[in-house]
């Protein structure tokens, strides 16, 4: 039986491929690699290839080309085109990225006037950015923003927290997909676990003896959250949230104490 592809499933697949490749893929690259769903299925749901990649958390350039007539390029205009496409920090995409995103002038024109792409970039006073792709850099910045918000509110930020945050740079639906939602593995793997937080404050600092015992048993590996839930008559999440709140309360008290000493 053929697999039925729903929009959310398609976006998760495109996100997985994009994170593996470090960038979005053109339709030709997707088809050549044999990824599923097929390009036709994706277009049936999203109508436009770049629209699908944008919803998956990537930022493909618009399909626009500032055309010039034949012979309209010269050495100075090539340099101007490179400088206009550069980042504010003076870096510019690789030659491969320039070609695949259909920037003008094309590589043949650049080579005609400057010999190589590298020579033209140097003449423009720019440097080629070889390290982090633009989509990856954007995901890293969103993750840093999410961590900052979580620190401000004292717990891992939810989508509602993000939308209510005046400084949020993008809609939560875009950010959460780019960072691994709805599974949340990407975020959770980079946020401190209960036991990592507990190690910084010490289990003895928890005032409530019951929660202190839960935290010690869980972090020492003698009992799981499910076992603690059955023993206490609470849900697994209920036990987990009580431990988290207790640890956060201790951390907040320590932070206030440090501030008091320094003032």
Confidence category of residue 99, pLDDT binned at 50, 70, 90: confident
pTM, full prediction: 0.33
Cα dihedral across residues 217, 223, 229, 230: positive or negative: negative
Q: Which residue has the higher pLDDT, 63 or 173?
A: 173
For the cut 50, the answer to whether the pLDDT of residue 62 exceeds it is yes
Residue 10 to residue 35: CA distance in whole angstroms: 11
Distance CA 219, CA 223 (A): 8
Place of tokens 């650049």: 110
Residues of the chain above pLDDT 90, percent: 7
Residue 67 has pLDDT above 50, yes or no: no
For residue 28, what are its two tokens? 């030709």
pLDDT surpasses 50 at 227: yes
Q: What is the pLDDT of residues 174-213, one digit of tens each?
A: 787 776 654 344 444 444 566 777 777 778 888 888 888 8
């Amino acid at each position: 039986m053929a697999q039925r592809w729903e929009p959310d499933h398609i976006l998760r697949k495109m996100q997985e491929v994009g994170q593996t490749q470090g960038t979005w893929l053109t339709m030709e690259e997707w088809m050549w690699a044999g990824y599923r769903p097929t390009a036709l299925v994706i277009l049936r749901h999203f109508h436009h290839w770049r629209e699908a990649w944008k919803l998956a958390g990537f930022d493909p350039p618009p399909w626009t080309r500032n055309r010039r007539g034949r012979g309209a390029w010269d050495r100075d205009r090539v340099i101007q085109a490179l400088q206009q496409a550069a980042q504010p920090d003076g870096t510019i995409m690789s030659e491969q990225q320039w070609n695949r995103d259909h920037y003008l002038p094309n590589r043949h024109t650049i080579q005609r006037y400057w010999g190589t792409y590298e020579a033209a970039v140097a003449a423009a006073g720019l440097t080629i950015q070889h390290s982090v792709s633009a989509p990856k850099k954007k995901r890293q910045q969103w993750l840093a923003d999410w961590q900052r918000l979580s620190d401000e509110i004292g717990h891992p930020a939810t989508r509602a927290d993000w939308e209510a945050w005046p400084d949020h740079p993008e809609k939560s639906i875009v950010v959460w997909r780019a960072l691994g939602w709805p599974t949340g593995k990407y975020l959770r793997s980079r946020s401190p676990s209960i036991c990592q937080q507990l190690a910084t404050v010490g289990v003895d600092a928890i005032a409530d003896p019951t929660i202190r015992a839960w935290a010690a048993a869980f972090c020492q590996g003698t009992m799981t959250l499910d076992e603690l839930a059955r023993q206490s008559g609470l849900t697994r999440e209920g036990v987990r949230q009580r431990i988290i709140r207790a640890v956060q309360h201790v951390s907040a008290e320590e932070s206030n104490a440090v501030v008091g000493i320094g003032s």
